[in-house]
Amino acid sequence: MAPGESCCRICSRGLYSCHWNHPSEKKQRFAYCWFSILTLVTLLTLCWMYICLVTFNDREDVNWKGFVELKLWVNWFMVFIIISAVINIYCVLLLLFALFQVVLREPLDLHCLHKIFLFLGVLFITAGVTGMSLKWKTEWPTVLLSLQATAPFLQIGGVVALTLLSWLVFKGFHRATRAVSKVLIMVVFVLVSVAIFLSPLLITSPCLLEADELLSKPALIGHRGSPMLAPENTMMSFERSVGCNVTAFETDVQLSKDRVPFLMHDHHHEFLRRTTDVKDKFPGLEFNHSTNLSWAELESLNAGTWFLQSDPFYSVSKLSEEERREAQNQSIPSLVQLLDLAKQHHTSLIFDLKNEDNQDVDITVSTILTSGIPQNLILWLPGTKRRDVMEAAPGFRQVYSNVSIMDTYGGHHLNVKYSSLSATEIRELRSRNVSVNLWVVNERWLFSLLWCSGASSVTTNACHLLQDMTQPHWTLGSNLYRMIWITVNLMSLLIMFGLFILQRNSGSFSHSKEKGKHVHRFSTWNQREMSPFLPSE
Ligand SMILES: *[C@@H]1O[C@H](CO)[C@@H](O)[C@H](O)[C@H]1NC(C)=O
Ligand SMILES: *[C@@H]1O[C@H](CO)[C@@H](O)[C@H](O)[C@H]1NC(C)=O
Ligand SMILES: *[C@@H]1O[C@H](CO)[C@@H](O)[C@H](O)[C@H]1NC(C)=O
Ligand SMILES: *[C@@H]1O[C@H](CO)[C@@H](O)[C@H](O)[C@H]1NC(C)=O
């Protein structure tokens, strides 16, 4: 170890380049190149992490796809998020070490192990983006939508980061010897700054509204009950959702061999596998249709133990001992059981018919009518035989998944994915007296955004998280927002100007002090003291 070297200096150099004892003198040209690559990769990992976090709302989609492909229920999404977070933290730390090196005027040669890790990180993210574009492209609109919630804050964060970074850029500028380098640095910096400063002109968000334009809070519909608090589509799950004041239960209806409507989401090849102990009760048999089993057989299955075992939302640890015992004891409910609960609490019911045969429609309608539930509590979604259903049960509220079909029936209720309508479209539908339900909304930020957009209700897995929100996360009048971003920009410009002058004035002294020798001219500095922003000369 060279004498007089501080511990920080050695650590940061050692971690970055593995030269613990003394700085290396070679390969400087590529060092700056690698520093730029590291910066870009770090930005990339930050973007990817952002994508992971905003798509967290739909993590079930990924896990479900994994289950369908591999017949194995694993929380795949969590695995992706953890790997991404590790890569992200690694890159950010490495970049911090690099910046530290710059401040300490140490050489910047990245160790080749880091280069390999960076490459693997880029490979992982490329695979992630490609996989998403191929298998999950419906999720890209969610990423765009999320910007409506985050863009004003990202912009301010960008301005702060730019202001901090300008210190390094100006340092590079003042140290540059060739005019062409100076021009290059300034042109790039000014372009980036203008883009960041003026981006608010392009930002639109439904939450940029005056307080009196905000519509009332969207009602909550429990998606298969409250599947974070209890096993999905069980009576326990629906009872828990009553506890968070849902206005409707969402579920899925199928018919057994003896034509009893029961509640189960999975069908076809996944039928019963994920949420019941069918493999233990009927070993060696593969069921792929709801009519494979009678109601008595279905009722004998346990529909709760899986929840405690696979803990699909990492929520089991929050359940009390008694709740776990109750979850353990759940069976598949019949539609009649749920209708009784709905009647008792005056809660509406919306459901998918998993097999939309004529018989399924007829039997489901007659089951509902004989249960004695008020007809206006039924939100009828299945499209098959809709005219017949309207005749048999004129009190049902007809719900559509498509605006043009709704208009041909003259309907007033829409049920679509949250990303399929823009805020303007939602407002326009609301002004036509159409109620708009959006599925499936689990995260508070998304709920908050859709509240600003004017949604009438949302279907959610997380009614317990959304029920106590009394207002959206943020709303800002557009004039106030304009004032904020202009002020922030001006302050940033002022600080940058100050830094620029400071750098110019202090440039010539600081260096002579450090070397403890006579004053150098800029042109005589050796390369390793140059800013990383310069091409080596
Ligand atoms: C389940 O029902 C389907 C369709 O009716 C049938 O093809 C299949 O053989 C049945 N499976 C069993 C195990 O009964
Ligand atoms: C639930 O518990 C009752 C009695 O404690 C038992 O008879 C029933 O079989 C249990 N149901 C399930 C699905 O485990
Ligand atoms: C709605 O339905 C019409 C007619 O079936 C179809 O052409 C259109 O693509 C659908 N729109 C959406 C958004 O699914
Ligand atoms: C809007 O719908 C409600 C009930 O859904 C109805 O009472 C009201 O008259 C409708 N208003 C208009 C303008 O159509």
Helices (H), 289-357: 295-299, 305-310, 321-328, 335-345
Full domain range(s) for residue 193: 146-210+475-504
For the chain, what is the domain count? 3
Phi, psi of 390 (to 5 degrees): -60, -35
- 433 alpha carbon to ligand 4 midpoint, in Å? 6
Residue 526 has pLDDT above 60, yes or no: no
Decide: pTM greater than 0.95.
no
Share of the chain above pLDDT 70, in %: 91
**Minimum mean pLDDT range among 162-171, 287-296, 381-390:** 162-171
Look at 29 and 358; give whichever has higher pLDDT. 358
Q: Is residue 309 part of a domain?
A: no
Share of the chain above pLDDT 90, in %: 76
Q: Is residue 276 part of a domain?
A: no
**Minimum mean pLDDT range among 39-53, 94-108, 343-357, 499-513:** 499-513
Closest to 415 (Cα-Cα) out of 384, 442, 437: 437
Question: Mean pLDDT, to the nearest integer, of 358-380?
Answer: 96
Q: Is residue 244 part of a domain?
A: yes
What pLDDT is recorded for position 25? Answer: 56
Ligand nearest to the CA of 326: 2
Question: Confidence band (pLDDT; 50, 70, 90) for 198?
Answer: very high
Question: Mean pLDDT, to the nearest integer, of 320-341?
Answer: 97
Number of C-alpha atoms within 13 angstroms, CB side, residue 323? 16
Domain at 462, CATH number: 3.20.20.190
Q: 345 and 237 in one domain?
A: yes
Q: What is the pLDDT of residues 100-123, one digit of tens each?
A: 888 777 777 888 899 999 999 999
Q: Is residue 44 part of a domain?
A: yes
Q: Which residue of 401, 402, 414 sits with most ligand 3 atoms within 8 Å of its CB, as the best mutation to test the pocket? A: 402
- 233 alpha carbon to ligand 1 midpoint, in Å? 23
Place of tokens 């930005």: 43
Question: Which whole-number Å values give the CA distances from 439 to 227, 250, 359, 411, 522, in the listed order?
Answer: 14, 10, 28, 19, 63
- Specify which residues 458 forms β-bridges with: 220, 438
Q: Is residue 445 part of a domain?
A: yes
What pLDDT is recorded for position 408? Answer: 96
Tell me the pLDDT of the chain averaged across its residues: 90
Q: Is residue 280 part of a domain?
A: no
- Specify which residues 249 forms β-bridges with: 222, 349
What pLDDT is recorded for position 505? Answer: 83
Query: What CA–CA distance (Å, rounded) separates 274 from 269?
Result: 11
Torsion from C-alpha of 479, 484, 471, 444, nearest 10 degrees: 130
Question: Mean pLDDT, to the nearest integer, of 26-36?
Answer: 73
Q: Is residue 288 part of a domain?
A: no
Residue 173 has pLDDT above 80, yes or no: yes
- 290 alpha carbon to ligand 1 midpoint, in Å? 9
Q: Which residue of 138, 384, 404 sits with most ligand 3 atoms within 8 Å of its CB, as the best mutation to test the pocket? A: 404
Query: What CA–CA distance (Å, rounded) separates 459 from 447?
Result: 10
SS (H, E, C) 118-153: HHHHHHHHHHHHHHHHHHCHHHHHHHHHHHHHHHHH
Q: 205 and 111 in one domain?
A: no
Residue 77 has pLDDT above 60, yes or no: yes
Which residue has a Cα nearest atom 11 of ligand 3?
402
Do 211 and 450 form a contact (C-beta atoms < 8 A)?
no
β-pairing verdict for 248-255 and 261-263: antiparallel
Q: Is the CB of residue 292 below 6 angstroms from any atom belonging to ligand 1?
A: yes
Question: Mean pLDDT, to the nearest integer, of 84-96?
Answer: 95
- 111 alpha carbon to ligand 4 midpoint, in Å? 69
Ligand nearest to the CA of 412: 4
Q: Is the CB of residue 526 below 6 angstroms from any atom belonging to ligand 3?
A: no
Q: 199 and 125 in one domain?
A: no
Q: 73 and 159 in one domain?
A: no
For residue 291, the ligand 1 atom closest to its alpha carbon is: 2
- Which two three-digit tokens encode residue 507? 């440039």
Q: Is residue 298 part of a domain?
A: no
Do 193 and 162 form a contact (C-beta atoms < 8 A)?
yes
Q: Which residue of 271, 273, 288, 357 sits with most ligand 1 atoms within 8 Å of its CB, as the best mutation to test the pocket? A: 288
Question: Mean pLDDT, to the nearest integer, of 457-476?
Answer: 96
- 236 alpha carbon to ligand 2 midpoint, in Å? 13
Closest to 202 (Cα-Cα) out of 238, 242, 249, 151: 151
Question: Confidence band (pLDDT; 50, 70, 90) for 213?
Answer: very high
**Minimum mean pLDDT range among 402-411, 427-436, 497-506:** 497-506
What pLDDT is recorded for position 520? Answer: 42
Query: What CA–CA distance (Å, rounded) separates 447 from 57?
Result: 10
Q: 368 and 346 in one domain?
A: yes
